[in-house]
Structure 1
């Protein structure tokens, strides 16, 4: 028996809740080829968030789940997506190749598709941060991290996980969200990884220069005050969303405020280094494996 948000939850109740969530999306999942070797399933998690303008929204985060074979208990990793120009695509975030890296090391993987993206519907958009000249990144961080922590609470209900061994990961806006969630220090969080985290970038109209980069620096400083777990930040020299002068300043602000982030600025990758997490697995996997090992997680694939 466990307690979540003041509610007593029995193992049977947790199982029933999980089944109900799975049923909601079973029809959706049936239309796609699930990765059977990764034990892929799809669920949904109800959340309530508030946007930039103070409006409250209630919806359901779609959660793609992968796990190793066996009963566990497995450590939890949550992978947080970024924010593309067309928020309707993909309909459901999966990151199958990246998930495989973690399941091979014994992790149960949870990939949320947050409100305002894909099949959750793009309107309303809780992560709207306003126009380029008047950005407010705080409501975005609050809304997105609230959803991540709701997914974490759901993940901890699964009978095959170890709720005291949690890793958070995110790319782009997902990296910013991961840092915001880490700043809330959820129970069981061990470490976090930020891939090219930030917001407000546009490689077409202002390459490498995000809107109101100084405001993001202030946000990272705020996160650094309370984020007390080890973090790994991975950026590239040719990130067309957030140039090195910004990522380095954000990292400095985070650590000077009390954060514990290791910063890796990698050489240029492809035409836009912002794509490293998605397309450069062979480059980042050794860095992440070494970071996992230093923080008590398996660095190498487990023997089957």
Structure 2
């Protein structure tokens, strides 16, 4: 009875803290020890406009006292309504990493979610004039701030960090690997890229050669072991592009294991979201090679 009251009181305090910080109080997954906080980060957009915005960080923890290795999970770019969801959670995918002993930090970047979408530091211009550098600069600034925040938390091991990202989040993850942040020992890119449109130009991203050049640039400095997972029927980035990006990354000096999986559903780009049973064995194998055995 006393334990139940303690847990209830703790959840009430968490909800109160969310309301005070301006984050909407939602039902929190108690079995994943879910909590939410925000940090302020200043970034520039495509036009050079500088603005300070809030990055919402949703945190999940395993049972026990730790210290737990850190996993940063990066979301993609919402195709239509960047205000939905109010914060990214990916709880089914998070549960896999929490079970493996990771403390998971999932940032909702500036320009997404409940804190507004008017300022969009990840806009990269029209299709024929794409410039992806400002997007990466802004996202990398936010990501480094999230890493700094995560390292300061109790019960974590700041020397054992893995970064994971989906779509634009995978692009950002690869850019972070190029920075070789202290403590980062592995990174996973799920269908990473930008500029795709499955309706207007399926499989063919805007200015794919510019993305290839950026992946080559990342490869010159990246020393973090990576796993890249793509599918044959990705309607955003066809294998012709993802394989070329991987080749450019590796030729420049990057270390990445490229896995092209068979078609998944109608659009393989959704593998991370809908196909956990497909990718979990590959990710488990990669994590074990980096010193993270199954618990």
Cα root mean square deviation, aligned: 1.6
Counterpart in the other structure of 2:61: 67
User: Are 1:58 and 2:52 matched, yes or no?
Assistant: yes
The alpha carbon displacement at 1:69 in A equals: 1.4
The alpha carbon displacement at 1:265 in A equals: 0.2
Counterpart in the other structure of 2:10: none
The alpha carbon displacement at 1:284 in A equals: 0.2
Q: 1:37 aligns with which of 25, 31, 36?
A: 31
The alpha carbon displacement at 1:26 in A equals: 5.5
Question: What is the alpha-carbon distance in structure 2 between the residues aligned to residue 203 and residue 170 of structure 1?
Answer: 20
Counterpart in the other structure of 1:277: 272
CA deviation vs aligned residue, 1:193-230 (integer Å, no higher than 9, x gap): 00000000000000000000000000000111111010
Q: 2:96 aligns with which of 92, 98, 101?
A: 101
Counterpart in the other structure of 1:243: 238
Q: 1:205 aligns with which of 183, 200, 209?
A: 200
User: Are 1:195 and 2:190 matched, yes or no?
Assistant: yes
The alpha carbon displacement at 1:120 in A equals: 2.5
User: Are 1:81 and 2:75 matched, yes or no?
Assistant: yes
CA deviation vs aligned residue, 1:84-112 (integer Å, no higher than 9, x gap): 22111111100101111011111000000
Q: 2:126 aligns with which of 122, 131, 138?
A: 131
The alpha carbon displacement at 1:113 in A equals: 0.3
Counterpart in the other structure of 1:221: 216
CA deviation vs aligned residue, 1:22-53 (integer Å, no higher than 9, x gap): 93556766631100000000000111111111
Asked if 1 retains the 8 angstrom alpha-carbon contact of 2:36 and 2:59, the reply is yes
Q: 1:161 aligns with which of 146, 156, 160?
A: 156
Which stretches of structure 1, 4 residues or more, deviate above 2 A after TM superposition?
A: 22-31
Counterpart in the other structure of 1:13: none
Counterpart in the other structure of 1:256: 251
Counterpart in the other structure of 1:286: 281
Counterpart in the other structure of 2:263: 268
TM-score (norm 2): 0.92
The alpha-carbon distance between structure 1 residues 26 and 195, as it changes in their structure 2 partners (threshold 3 A), is farther
Asked if 1 retains the 8 angstrom alpha-carbon contact of 2:19 and 2:25, the reply is no
The alpha carbon displacement at 1:56 in A equals: 0.9
Partner SS, residue 281 of structure 2: helix
Asked if 2 retains the 8 angstrom alpha-carbon contact of 1:198 and 1:242, the reply is yes
Q: 1:46 aligns with which of 24, 35, 40?
A: 40
Unaligned stretches of 5+ residues in structure 1: 1-18
Unaligned stretches of 5+ residues in structure 2: 1-12
Q: 2:226 aligns with which of 225, 231, 234?
A: 231
